[in-house]
Structure 1
Amino acid sequence: MAQSPSDTAALRRWRLILGRYAQDRLGGNTGFALDSEDWKLERTLDYLYDREYEQRGLTRGPGSLDPSQIRALDWLQRARKLFPQEVFERMQSQAIERYGLTDLLRNPATVAELEPNMALGKALLAMRGRLSSEMRDAVRTVIQRVVDQLMARLRHEFVTAVVGRRHRFRRSMLASAQNFDWRATVRANLRHYDRDSRRLVIERPHFNARVKRSLPWDVILCVDQSGSMLDSVMFSAVVAGILSSLPTVRVRLVVFDTSVVDLTHLAHDPVEVLLTVQLGGGTDIGRAVRYCETLVHNPQRTVLALISDFCEGAQPAPLFAAVRRLAEARVRLLGLAALDDQTQPIYDQATAQKLANCGMEVAALTPHRFAEWLAEVMN
């Protein structure tokens, strides 16, 4: 019985999804077979997803395209032509993150062909110490492109939230009772005086515009740079760069593991921050918070944002003591358990709860929500 075109299209899609092991069941008894264009897709998919079979102890079958038969750059160029952009970016991310296809990251020409995204930025940063010297310029270029993408996505959120919200606040307060200007109101409405009732009809009340002092806020970003925090480190560097450009914010950027490094002098340059941080190592949150305590000069206009998984590797008592002192000084304390697009927090909930008990507000937020939270605190 002949197959309908829709049946053939469905078989074709399933064959490409399931790979060569589905050939006999999908095509052997039905006469269905891949055409020449499909085989291009098949071979390109095989190059990447046959690694899944290898991870399960299966070997490549005859006709499969092993890494010795195709260079990573050739595969990238072929995949970009054959698949839609969204599919290609997902394949590239899986090649690096899931299958460890590090050949993609060892040749400057290949790196230049990669589509810049978070997955690529993370992979390059994680491998930075193992890359050859000739790769440095290529890595910097890719990291710059990834940072530019993040800045384009987040800048508007932070500028609108931190700067724009103040203007909305000011307008909403113009008509409050405490701003009522009775002298100007009487003077402007005298012509509406009703002699019979001996009442002044107020057609248009007048209010004084509140003058709000625009003293700058100090925002201290205290960022955990242990290996599990790579997403947060990337977003934190970008957030520091954005905040550094705002006239009413003074940014201090501190990164830590068991050591504490003040990168405030680089806060305006997210790329340089990312190429400077040393990912990995243990965690001493208490030491970092105690250092940040020394940076506080105007407690009531200071926000300390601790970005960490709260997995304290040192004795926790000094950490809690420092947080209590800062809270008593009226520093606004924010604890961010996650700072990425997915907001899938994996953190020490017991430590987070104890920090909250000491006066720190703790939440797991996306960068967009962090912008709103920061604006609420500063306004």
Structure 2
Amino acid sequence: ADVLERQAKEWFNMTELLTDKKVIEEMKPEIALLKTIIQLKHLMNGEVLQAAVKIAKQVADDIKQKLDMTIKRSLTGRLDKNTSSVMKCSANLDFKKTIRRNLKNYDKASNQLILKDIYFSGRVKKHNKKRIIIAIDESGSMLGSVIYSAVMAQIISELPFAEVKLIIFDTSIVDLSDHADDPAQTIMSVQLGGGTDIAKALTYCESLIITPRDTCVIVVTDLYEGGSEAQLMNVSKNIITSGAHLSFLTALDENADPAYDKATGQKLADMGSFVGSLTPDKLGDYIGKIFA
């Protein structure tokens, strides 16, 4: 990380990127820029950081716009067999989401919360709910996958028959399930550096499983385990034995060109989990096939 910062400042003259919000605002919002922001955001503050968050939102929105219909059509076609349409009535009001997403509209003068956007939930029988648990390895090599995973979590969370649990991890775990519908929040929560404890993250995922056969655990990671490999294998076996679906995505981005620990991947695959890379547009069909 120190080397990266020095190169950013000395080689690419990016000091302005860290200190002048106008520089960020004038740059084209794209994944390459967002990756740089993620790597350097700990050096940003104030208006510069706010401008960086806007870039994260723009990039996430652009990706979502490209993938939204494809993913939802794929998932809906396979899973949404008994779901009634979403009716905008008081019984379906998503109170928590409505309040959370409108906090920015709080009027201090009148001491009132102004609801500019109202959110409703689909009325779905509980036994139709599919729980998708997405755990994202925030190590530097996974940056592209982190961005796409955050957007995929948002797309899936908008479906009435799917419930998304979202965590990011290194050697510690951050549960961002309450922000699964806000990929910019997920992306800007990434903290690079430190080790990786996949077993610890997967153990936490196991604790989130309620109905195994209606649960899919997706771990987006390069499988370079810094924790206990024995524990990783044990918890993986427990999840598979329970009847839940376990997948390790070694890459989830536009290239799907992974670099990962193939020995560990082979052991997990031999155990019965899916190990491989996917482009984002294929993930919806993959999840649909799991629950079909």
TM (normalized to structure 2)? 0.78
Determine if contact 2:38/2:190 at 8 Å carries over to the other structure: no
Correspondences of 1:1-379 after superposition (within 5 Å): 100-103=12-15, 105-106=17-18, 107-166=20-79, 215-379=128-292
C-alpha separation between the residues in 1 aligned to 2:131 and 2:63? 23
Question: Where has structure 1 moved over 2 Å in runs of 4 or more?
Answer: 164-168
Residue 214 of structure 1 and its aligned partner are, at CA, apart by 6.5
Number of equivalences? 241
Q: Which amino acid aligns with 1:105?
A: L
Structure 1 residue 167, shift from structure 2 partner: 6.5
State the Cα distance separating 1:280 from its structure 2 match: 2.5
Q: Give the superposition deviation at 1:322.
A: 0.5
- Quote the Cα distance in structure 1 between the aligned partners of 2:136 and 2:52: 23
Looking at structure 2, the residues matched to 155 and 264 of structure 1 have their Cα atoms a distance apart, in angstroms, of 20
User: Residue 30 of structure 1 corresponds to which residue in structure 2?
Assistant: none
Residues 166, 180 of structure 2: 8 Å contact kept = yes
Whether the aligned pair in 2 keeps the contact of 1:343 and 1:366 (CA below 8 Å) is yes
CA contact 1:162–1:378 (8 Å) conserved in 2: no
Deviations 1:86-118 (A, max 9, x none): xxxxxxxxx98xx63414523111111111110
Aligned-partner Cα distance in 2 for 1:213–1:111: 45
C-alpha distance in structure 2 between counterparts of 1:223 and 1:167, whole Å: 26
Rounded to whole Å, the distance in 2 between the matches of 1:298 and 1:214 is 9
Measured in 2, the distance between the counterparts of 1:104 and 1:144 equals 21
Between stretches 126-135 and 312-321, larger displacement belongs to: 126-135
Separation in 2, partners of 1:129, 1:316: 31
> What secondary structure does 1:314 align onto?
coil
- Give the CA deviation at 1:373: 0.8
Q: Secondary structure at the match of 1:364?
A: strand
Letter in 1 for 2:143: L
Any unmatched runs of 5+ in structure 1?
Answer: 1-94, 169-211
CA distance in 1 between counterparts of 2:174 and 2:57 reads 22
Separation in 1, partners of 2:39, 2:234? 34
Cα distance in 2 for partners of 1:354, 1:257 equals 21
Aligned to 1:31: none
Provide, for residues 128-156 of structure 1, a one-character-per-residue CA deviation record: whole Å limited to 9, x for no partner: 00123230221111111111101101111
What code does the residue aligned with 2:220 have? I
TM-score (structure 1 length as normaliser):
0.61
Are the counterparts in 2 of residues 227 and 281 from structure 1 also a CA contact under 8 Å?
no
Cα distance in 2, alignment partners of residues 309 and 222 from structure 1: 12
Indicate if the aligned counterparts of 1:320 and 1:355 stay in contact, CA closer than 8 A.
yes
Q: Is the CA contact (8 Å cut-off) linking 1:340 and 1:367 kept in structure 2?
A: yes
Distance 1:213 1:376 in 2: 20
Matched residue SS, 1:234: helix
Q: Deviations over 1:38-76 (max 9, x none)?
A: xxxxxxxxxxxxxxxxxxxxxxxxxxxxxxxxxxxxxxx
- CA gap of 1:364–1:109, structure 2 versus 1, over 3 A, is same
Separation in structure 2 between the aligned mates of residue 141 and residue 315 of structure 1, nearest angstrom: 38
RMSD: 2.1
AA partner of residue 304 (structure 1):
V
Structure 1 residues 353 and 123, CA gap change in structure 2 (3 angstroms): same
Report the CA distance shift for 1:104/1:118 in structure 2 as closer, same or farther (over 3 A): farther
Q: Is the 8 A contact 1:214 1:248 kept in 2?
A: no
Rg larger for: 1
Q: Secondary structure at the match of 1:252?
A: strand
The amino acid of 2:12's aligned partner reads: G
**Structure showing greater relative contact order (alpha-carbon pairs closer than 8 Å, 6 or more residues apart):** 2
CA distance, structure 2, for counterparts of residue 164 and residue 273 of structure 1? 28
User: What is the aligned-residue identity percentage?
Assistant: 35
Question: Distance between the aligned counterparts of 2:40 and 2:208, measured in 1?
Answer: 33
How many angstroms apart in 2 are the aligned matches of 1:307 and 1:341?
A: 14
Aligned partners of 2:140, 2:230: CA distance in 1, in Å? 24
